[in-house]
């Protein structure tokens, strides 16, 4: 697809609410604006975090301006023609990921190269920031924000309601029950608001499940049943900023992405070089370890700050200690002491890091009667389920489906 040019907003046109500004949501918003420039009045993009990207976000801090860290996915693999076309359309917002990748044997510390398979492209956001992928999706060919898209960062949708009568709008509310928007169509980017795990994190019934009960839409009910049967592999990450002598051994390792085999706690280590010979280090837990520490999100996470999800500071400290101890016990990796960190170490939980189970069929991703559509790494595409690419492709795919439904 070609990049959208700047568009004049339509009057009395469609209003669309996209819930989630990860790569699926930003891709959907972009392609909805591109597919229906004369019909869309506004696309409100609701995101609990401080900015776009989801697990392809980049964390910063005012305390250390030069610090940035991709604390979720440090890069993405692109394997399909659809994915390549979408990435090509982003132009300078994307750059190749060329750093060395290895597999580390947890018992011996031995490393072996992890070559890139034929036909696979590794990419990341411009300037090494994964968040620039999502930012690029929200910009036109001139690098300006797409007019129709209205980001609503640090805003969490806690309630949904739509009357059953044809043509009724969706109404969105916050945790106080106050109205925060209305829309003709609802695009659910990320399954959280429709999945039973919502109840464990935030309490109450998942908002879309509750709203659907009064709509009698068989296709929506079937889609929600498929989503309810899906799982998600969580990941806990611990990240920090190292400078000077503390950074030297990490920058000298000879690789930036280390996949760890055979460790019960540690699954991956990512070294991200920064200015002034410093670096960020990110430790990724195994899914099993993250599951054994359910309910700990990180005090600075959006789930805790905006969603009021409770998180134990004591348990956060224990998790940080566990992952630092795992590094210290592994041959071939430098020691990582909390006292050596110029910033951090901090913990973040990616509760829905990798979707599991049967993907939502594309035929159920658009429900015209209820005016609900789904996109994310849990929706079937030609790309691998749970991949960054599948999220990106599903956003464009569902935008096309909504455009067809609107014109029917």
- Asked if the structure places residue 127 within a domain, the reply is no
pLDDT per residue over 186-218, tens digit each?
Answer: 999 989 999 999 998 888 999 999 999 999 999
- Asked if the structure places residue 86 within a domain, the reply is no
pLDDT at 72 over 60: yes
Does residue 322 share a domain with residue 248? yes
Q: The tokens 């700990």 sit on which residue?
A: 296
- Asked if the structure places residue 313 within a domain, the reply is yes
pLDDT per residue over 235-271, tens digit each?
Answer: 999 999 999 999 999 999 999 999 999 999 999 999 9
Does residue 274 share a domain with residue 374? no
Q: Check which CATH number belongs to the domain holding 185 and give it.
A: 3.50.50.60
pLDDT at 385 over 70: yes
pLDDT at 6 over 60: no
In a 13 Å sphere around the CA of 66, the CA atoms on its Cβ side amount to 13
Q: 231, 226, 168, 161: which is closest to 369 by C-alpha?
A: 168
**Structural domain boundaries, residue 29:** 14-57+134-229+359-407
In a 13 Å sphere around the CA of 327, the CA atoms on its Cβ side amount to 23
Assess contact for 9 and 41: CB atoms under 8 A: yes
Question: Percentage of the chain with pLDDT > 90?
Answer: 88
Work out the average pLDDT over 169-176: 96
The confidence score (pLDDT) of residue 299 equals 65
Does residue 268 share a domain with residue 199? no
Label residues 67-77 b or e (16+ Cβ within 10 Å = b): bbbbbbbbbbb
- Asked if the structure places residue 258 within a domain, the reply is yes
Q: Check which CATH number belongs to the domain holding 321 and give it.
A: 3.90.660
- Asked if the structure places residue 376 within a domain, the reply is yes
Work out the average pLDDT over 63-80: 96
Does residue 332 share a domain with residue 364? no
Q: 306, 294, 48: which is closest to 189 by C-alpha?
A: 48
Structure tokens at 346: 């901090």
Average pLDDT of the chain to the nearest whole number: 93
Assess contact for 142 and 151: CB atoms under 8 A: no
Does residue 398 share a domain with residue 272? no
Structure tokens at 208: 């879309």
Structure tokens at 38: 């004369």
Does residue 335 share a domain with residue 243? yes
Q: Based on the structure, what is the number of domains in the chain? A: 2
Does residue 225 share a domain with residue 170? yes
- Asked if the structure places residue 268 within a domain, the reply is yes
- Asked if the structure places residue 4 within a domain, the reply is no
pLDDT at 371 over 50: yes
Work out the average pLDDT over 53-61: 94
The confidence score (pLDDT) of residue 200 equals 86
Least confident of 30-44, 99-113, 149-163, 190-204: 190-204
- Asked if the structure places residue 5 within a domain, the reply is no
Does residue 176 share a domain with residue 191? yes
pLDDT per residue over 283-308, tens digit each?
Answer: 999 999 999 998 887 766 555 444 44
Does residue 240 share a domain with residue 225? no
The confidence score (pLDDT) of residue 310 equals 58
Does residue 399 share a domain with residue 305? no
The confidence score (pLDDT) of residue 328 equals 95
Does residue 334 share a domain with residue 249? yes
Does residue 391 share a domain with residue 273? no
Q: 152, 135, 128, 148: which is closest to 53 by C-alpha?
A: 135
Determine the Cα–Cα distance for residues 394 and 202; give it in Å rounded to an integer: 26
């Amino acid at each position: 697809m070609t990049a959208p040019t700047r568009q004049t907003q339509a009057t009395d046109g469609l209003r669309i609410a996209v819930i989630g500004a990860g790569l699926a949501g930003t891709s959907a918003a972009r392609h909805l604006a591109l597919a229906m420039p004369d019909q869309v009045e506004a696309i409100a993009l609701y995101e609990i975090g401080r900015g776009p990207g989801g697990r392809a976000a980049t964390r910063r801090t005012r305390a250390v301006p030069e610090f940035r860290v991709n604390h979720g996915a440090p890069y993405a693999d692109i394997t399909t023609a659809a994915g390549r076309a979408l990435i090509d359309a982003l132009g300078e917002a994307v750059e190749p990921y060329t750093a060395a990748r290895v597999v580390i044997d947890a018992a011996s510390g031995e490393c072996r190269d992890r070559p890139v398979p034929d036909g696979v492209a590794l990419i990341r956001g411009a300037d090494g920031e994964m968040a620039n992928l999502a930012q690029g999706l929200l910009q036109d060919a001139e690098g300006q924000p797409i007019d129709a898209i209205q980001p609503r960062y640090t805003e969490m949708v806690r309630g949904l309601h739509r009357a059953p009568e044809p043509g009724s709008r969706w109404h969105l509310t916050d945790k106080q029950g106050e109205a925060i928007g209305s829309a003709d169509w609802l695009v659910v980017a990320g399954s959280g608001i429709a999945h039973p795990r919502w109840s464990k994190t935030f309490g109450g019934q998942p908002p879309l499940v509750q709203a659907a009960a009064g709509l009698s839409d068989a296709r929506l009910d079937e889609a929600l049943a498929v989503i309810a049967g899906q799982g998600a592999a969580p990941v806990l990450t611990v990240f920090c900023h190292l400078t000077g002598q503390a950074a030297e051994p990490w920058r000298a390792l000879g690789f930036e992405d280390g996949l760890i085999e055979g460790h019960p706690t540690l699954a991956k280590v990512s070294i991200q070089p920064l200015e002034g010979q410093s670096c960020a280090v990110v430790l990724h837990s195994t899914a099993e370890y993250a599951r054994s520490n359910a309910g700990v999100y990180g005090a600075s996470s959006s789930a805790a700050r905006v969603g009021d999800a409770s998180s134990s500071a004591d348990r956060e400290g224990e998790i940080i200690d566990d992952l630092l101890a795992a590094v210290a016990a592994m041959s071939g990796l430098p020691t990582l002491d909390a006292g050596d960190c110029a910033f951090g170490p901090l913990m973040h939980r990616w509760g829905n890091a990798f979707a599991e189970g049967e993907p939502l069929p594309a035929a159920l991703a658009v429900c015209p009667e209820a005016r609900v559509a789904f996109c994310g790494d849990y929706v079937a595409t030609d790309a691998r389920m749970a991949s960054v690419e599948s999220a990106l492709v599903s956003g464009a795919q569902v935008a096309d489906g909504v455009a067809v439904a609107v014109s029917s």
